[in-house]
Amino acid sequence: MIVTANPENIEHILKTRFENYPKGKPFTDLLGDFLGIGIFNVDGELWSTQRKLASHEFSAKSLREFVVSVLEDEVTKRLVPLLENAVRDDEVVDMQDVLRRLAFDTICKISLGWDPCCLDYTRAVPPLVTAFDTAAGASAMRGTSSVSWVWKVKRLLNVGRERQLKEAVGVVHRAVDEIIRARRENMDGSDNNRDLLSRFMSSGHSDDLIRDMVISFLMAGRDTTSAAMTWLFWLLTRHPSIEKDVLKDVTFHDNKLTFEELKKMDYLKACLCESMRLYPPVVWDSKHAAKADVLPDGTTVYKGNRVMYFPYGMGRMETLWGKDCLEFRPDRWFSEPGGLKMESPYKFPVFQAGPRVCLGKEMAFIQMKYVMASVLSRFEFVSVSPEEPVFVPLLTAHMDGGFKVRVRMRSGFCEP
């Protein structure tokens, strides 16, 4: 294995010699039972076909408008009332759990046109949600085995975590298959169904491929945005002066957030980028060399070598970010004249880069800005624990033990 934190090497791997560095079978085997042949777990023609289809849909203005309408519904009808109740009852709330539930509701509505109602704590969590958690966790644990034959033997014998994975994947597949079947029966050729599933189904691909594509997007959109927001909310409790600057950036028109207004919130975006620099939702990524190669720094790569880059480590390196690299300083994301400065994606690869750059990057920022702006303008959080939380990396990173807070109404906020 070769681990690199050199932006030139990363550009070489992700862009210049992209064809020579696929995910590779050792990696795709880990997630294959769960993600199947979905876009995030395949290479070559299968990846290219799905990428073209998804890229077309993600660039559609109608999808962006749909995303904002889903967020408005979820935030105003569920998230805000939940936090208002916490203020009234002086309850301790785990914001990490709240944001994960919100994110899963949102991504299910956008991807499947189905509402799991996770943010409604009065309802039981649907079996699909529990099974999704189990499948993601068990798939991640495969990567901790010292050699792959350990988990492959357990899968063959259908024991332990591999048995749990098989059962959980079965629940997920059956649930999504049923949603697809019901959608086919009700599709009438109109534009009423704006979710990704309906858009993919009109492309003529098989139901199995569509199912795996949608599961991949659920996986990508579920824990990544919630993890980024959890860490930023915590950081802002430690940096009240920065929180005040964020509030100046948050503007509403007729008490609503529009896509155009969200795009203008540069300081909030800088805070999100700075938070993800220090606490990236995806801690590492790796490829496998199809042929022997030499990286720009002179490192020899042999055929079959696993080549990994490490965003968590990169975000904390003096050579890349300066002597204040461990400080939370959103101002570093602005150029001298005051405009927002986007760093090279090979220095800040939290959304990958090159041909496989995250398709949902813009959607992720829309969601995070909408939620952060809606919450910060109304509420203040007081962290229950004075200690710095522990960062736990799995498929997506999370805060060990959650983020427990007491919620207060923000001084000066007037209800619309």
Residue 29 in contact with residue 172, Cβ under 8 Å? Answer: no
Half-sphere exposure of 167 (CA within 13 A, CB side): 10
**What is the end-to-end Cα distance of the chain in Å, rounded?**
56
Binding-site residue set for heme: 358
Report the C-alpha gap between 265 and 378 in whole angstroms: 17
How far CA 328 is from CA of 140, 364, 403, in Å, comes to 29, 21, 18
Q: Which residue has the tokens 């992720």?
A: 364
DSSP string, 213-275: HHHHHHHHHHHHHHHHHHHHHHHHHH-HHHHHHHHHH---BTTB--HHHHHT-HHHHHHHHHH
Q: List binding-site positions.
A: 358
Handedness of CA 65, 260, 230, 74 (dihedral sign): negative
The 3-state DSSP class for residue 306 equals strand
**Nearest Cα to 150, choosing from 288, 164, 142?**
142
Q: Which distant-in-sequence residues (6+ apart) come within 8 Å of 214 by Cβ?
A: 38, 111, 112, 176, 196, 197, 200
- 3 state DSSP class of 96: helix
Specify burial of residue 71 (Cβ count, 10 A radius: 0-12, 13-18, 19+): buried
